[in-house]
Structure 1
């Protein structure tokens, strides 16, 4: 008898649910800022809490700490993506960061073609082209590097490292989601700590408070940990471009919540960019569905 976890649609549903939760990631980060957790401190506190609970869970369940090199590097890269994404949210408009992160389907398509032996089709070209056009629109039609801030750069870097990490997890040996989550949270913590140390006296370092650290750690357990498990479990079962497409549901929850609750600019250019990025994420999946119907 097929279990729920073995059903083909289960990882799709789990990834979609994770995406909806990723979309409101900015809320705890911005809230922790109000508690004095500036810069990378909020991300570090949340990932420390998630990592500590993941260690406890691995010990209680006696999970085998068995993870191949690809899975280890993949989970570590996802940790880089989580940390850079969190810091980007503190430095730039939430909607802008979310949309720039979602160049990930384009990066995922390039990685699949260059390193995984997958074919390059018209949909692949459209995916990359539409992603770049979408990014250009989100940036307000700016071609000059002077218009791109550190938060924008970190958002793009986050999408790139996420795509690379997802590819490695998908192609690597199957590992326990709890172990993958632990590696991801530890990686995110180390990268966040690096921001704090290297960015002393800048927006990366900020401050930390005891109360804020406690709230951040609690958020890591009840919010970050479930998202990580859902995302990484799905990443083991879905190709990088596919899971990046499914995670674009974050655009819906993230952009809508950002526009509704934050006083951030969101005009025709940003809306057009969001549409292009969604189209980019959809193209390859629609092509695959068309081939299955033949």
Structure 2
């Protein structure tokens, strides 16, 4: 039975959210398939989630109190979500996910450089295994030549996520719903800004049915996923959170292979195993440290 007070609760929710985010490219590609730009698709999905979050705040009568550090963290997660969404319209699904998942390395470095965390040999191992797995998923083919817009957005998304998750974890606690509202509003605004920068129309265009589906998907898909993510981000160290999110690679690669005929052979299977193994080892170490801390506190 699921208990929010359990130490495993944020781990469990993060794993579920990660696998859900692995198929986030599907609603983005659906909307671009009916004539929207990547920025318009991201804006519509995030706008639907923003409106639903505000309605939840009003219905639950929650006071939207949030500290400056958490506010900036939520806004940066919104930047990460928006740039990640737009990247899918400009690059292959697998490539976007891979470049985003340089984020575990950023998170580990932030914890070590700014949070006083000790760099363990296991940290090197998990980072190396995660990145090696990502390389294998691409079939060993990585080139920095001719970086496309989607590549830059994917890398920037990973950096914004790593910094945002750190600020949320270290900031003054606020409700996850308030953080979610900030994140979705930020993601909507950034998508509109990206549309301007890329020379695209800001207002989403397309059939009324597609506009409705996009807004509803934002409310029923993005909102609960980002809520679960941010609730967990307040309870899990940034690197652990990000390593758990490497499960998204597995969902993204498998769904891309099935629905888009993107490559997924033995090499990609090996890469997936490395990524999952790195995530599980980081989870096991973090939970062991929690148990030790609880015993010392008794």
Q: TM-score, normalization: structure 2?
A: 0.87
Distance 2:35 2:142 in 1: 35
After alignment, is 271-280 or 152-161 more displaced?
271-280
Pair 270,156 (structure 1): closer, same or farther in 2 beyond 3 Å: farther
- Quote how far apart the aligned CAs of 1:238 are: 0.9
Q: CA deviation at 1:112?
A: 0.8
1:234 matched to 2:232: yes
Alignment match, 1:15: 14
The separation in 1 between residues aligned to 2:227 and 2:91, in whole angstroms, is: 27
Instruction: Tell me the secondary structure at the aligned position of residue 5 of structure 1.
Output: coil
CA distance in 2, matches of 1:21, 1:15: 10
Q: 2:53 and 2:230 mapped to 1: Cα distance?
A: 13
Cα distance per residue 1:54-77 (max 9 Å; x no partner): 111111211011101111011111
With the length of structure 1 as denominator, give the TM-score of the two structures. 0.88
Structure 1: 5+ residue stretches without partners:
none
Q: How many residues align?
A: 290
- More displaced stretch, 281-290 vs 34-43: 281-290
1:100-144 deviation line (CA, Å, top 9, x unaligned): 222222211111111111111112222334445455555665665
Contact 1:40 1:206 in 2 (8 A): no
1:220 corresponds in structure 2 to: 218
For the 8 Å contact 2:44–2:204, the answer to whether it is kept is: no
For 2:89, the equivalent position in structure 1 comes to 90
Q: Is the alpha carbon distance of 1:207 and 1:126 closer, same or farther for their aligned partners in structure 2, counting shifts above 3 Å?
A: same
CA 144–25 in structure 1, closer or farther in 2 if over 3 Å, else same = closer
Q: CA deviation at 1:290?
A: 6.1
Within 1, Cα distance between the matches of 2:83 and 2:30? 18
Q: Secondary structure at the match of 1:4?
A: coil
Q: Is the 2:247–2:276 contact (alpha carbons within 8 Å) kept by the matching residues of 1? A: no
Distance 1:277 1:57 in 2: 36
* Correspondence list, 1:1-294, <5 A: 4-134=3-133, 136-137=135-136, 141=140, 144-200=143-199, 208-209=205-206, 211=208, 212-266=210-264, 273-288=271-286
TM-superposed deviation, 1:190: 0.9
* Stretch of structure 1 that moved more, 225-234 or 244-253: 244-253
Quick check: 1:38–1:205 contact (8 Å CA) kept in 2?
A: no
Distance 1:160 1:268, change over 3 A: farther
Conservation of the 8 A alpha-carbon contact between 2:84 and 2:154: yes
Query: In the superposition, relative to structure 1, how do residues 109 and 77 fare at CA in structure 2: closer, same or farther (>3 Å)?
Result: same
**Distance across 1 between alignment mates of 2:74 and 2:289:** 31
CA apart distance, 1:237: 0.9
Alpha-carbon deviations, 1:83-105, whole Å to 9, x = none? 01101111111122122222222
Paired residues of 2:69 and 2:167 also in contact (CA < 8 A): yes
